[in-house]
């Protein structure tokens, strides 16, 4: 029985076009004890493949983290299957604000050590002792409180194109890095400040809130469902939208627009722009912000060197890449010395000083 994807992205895209069906992009996560992650993974693959589900799903002993798409007319079947699994019954599904039939082109369900690469030793603290979950209305009230420090738990390339007003946006490459920075910068305010956190869909805050409570923070809050759920509630209830710009997402859409504000800049010319692209040179593939004009001039490349390589015949490019591996820039996502307009983000200490003044 087939338990892995056999089609290329190109072949899958052609099948989606041929089917002519609208697809629904959504995400969810759940921390739960899974005794046999591999068996659970195989069960999901068999069932979801039959429903034409595509996406990136991680399964571990600690739970599941899923980002996927499926034909809209099969949503009820999919939901029925989720409800048949005890720890996924009535799970909150974060429905994408902006839909794209080709947000995912493969079904990848992987067994991992953790469903979130947080770098933490969960045995050293109580991961179930989490912060207070708040909805969009309570969140809006909290972040207007002068005693609140609002922290973005995402990485620099995510918060650069969109974040909440007055949020602290740590200039980090990984979630784990931000934890130590936040603790250090707020070490004198563990009892007198409200620590309010948010992320894309909520999963990073689940672990971070428990971690910070373990570290002695008394007033810890997290945005329920993250930015995705916040945007939905703002629209449905008619709340004031306090989010600026786009919400970075980890599929082929790359982002969802939450407001019309453009708070980022093209990394090459500095023009206001907030759409990421990948360098066309496959040996680089750097994720960076490039406006339409620079995209045309630079041929969708991040540097003159990459542009020269990308002009070579494909076989010559392959020969150059042989044995070299990919550039480290792939993992730096926007960090390269030759990108003159990469935005420097503020740290928590600077924000606290601004509040004090």
Say what the alpha-carbon torsion angle 105, 110, 116, 120 is, to the nearest 10 degrees.
-150
Is 199 a catalytic site residue? yes
- DSSP H stretches of helix in the chain: 9-19, 37-50, 75-83, 136-143, 156-159, 175-185, 203-214, 226-237, 292-297, 304-310, 314-321, 329-332, 348-356
Dihedral sign (CA 13, 14, 16, 21): positive
What strands lie across the sheet with 148-152, from one edge to the other?
A: 132-134, 220-223, 194-198, 148-152
Instruction: Compute, in degrees rounded to 10, the torsion defined by CA atoms 244, 247, 253, 254.
Output: 100
User: Given 199, 266, 291, 306, which residue is catalytic?
Assistant: 199
C-alpha R_g of the chain: 21
As a dihedral over the C-alpha atoms of residue 268, residue 273, residue 276, residue 277, rounded to 10 degrees, the angle is -50
d(CA 323, CA 17): 37
**Adjacent-strand bridge partners of 67:** 27, 56
Instruction: Quote the CA–CA distance of 218 and 191 in Å, as a whole number.
Output: 5
Active-site residue numbers? 199
């Amino acid at each position: 029985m087939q338990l892995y994807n056999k089609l290329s992205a190109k072949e899958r895209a052609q099948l989606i076009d041929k089917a002519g069906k609208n697809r629904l992009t959504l995400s969810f996560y759940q921390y739960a004890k899974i005794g046999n992650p591999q068996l659970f993974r195989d069960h999901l693959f068999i069932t979801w493949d039959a429903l034409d589900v595509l996406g990136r799903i991680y399964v571990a002993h600690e739970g599941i983290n899923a980002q996927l798409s499926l034909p809209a007319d099969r949503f009820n079947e999919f939901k029925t299957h989720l409800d048949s699994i005890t720890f996924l019954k009535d799970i909150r599904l974060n429905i994408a604000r902006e839909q794209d039939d080709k947000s995912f082109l493969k079904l990848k369900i992987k067994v991992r050590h953790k469903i979130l690469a947080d770098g933490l030793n969960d045995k050293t603290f109580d991961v179930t002792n989490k912060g207070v979950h708040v909805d969009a209305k309570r969140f809006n009230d909290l972040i207007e409180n002068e005693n609140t420090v609002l922290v973005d738990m995402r990485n620099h390339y995510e918060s650069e194109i969109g974040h909440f007003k007055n949020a602290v946006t740590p200039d980090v490459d990984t979630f784990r890095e931000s934890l130590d920075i936040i603790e250090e910068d707020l070490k004198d305010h563990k009892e007198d400040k409200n620590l309010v956190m948010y992320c894309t869909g909520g999963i990073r805050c689940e672990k971070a809130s428990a971690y910070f409570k373990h570290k002695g923070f008394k007033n810890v809050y997290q945005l329920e469902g993250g930015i995705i759920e916040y945007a939905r509630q703002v629209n449905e209830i008619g709340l004031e939208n306090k989010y600026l710009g786009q919400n970075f997402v980890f599929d082929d859409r790359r982002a969802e627009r939450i407001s019309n504000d453009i708070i980022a800049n093209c990394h090459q010319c500095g023009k206001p722009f907030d759409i990421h692209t990948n360098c066309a040179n496959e040996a680089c593939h750097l994720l960076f912000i490039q406006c339409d004009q620079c995209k045309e001039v630079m041929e969708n490349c991040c540097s003159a060197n990459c542009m020269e390589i990308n002009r070579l015949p494909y076989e010559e490019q392959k020969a150059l890449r042989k044995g070299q591996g990919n550039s480290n820039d792939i993992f730096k996502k926007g960090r390269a010395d030759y990108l003159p307009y990469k935005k420097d983000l503020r740290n928590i200490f600077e924000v606290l000083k601004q509040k004090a003044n």
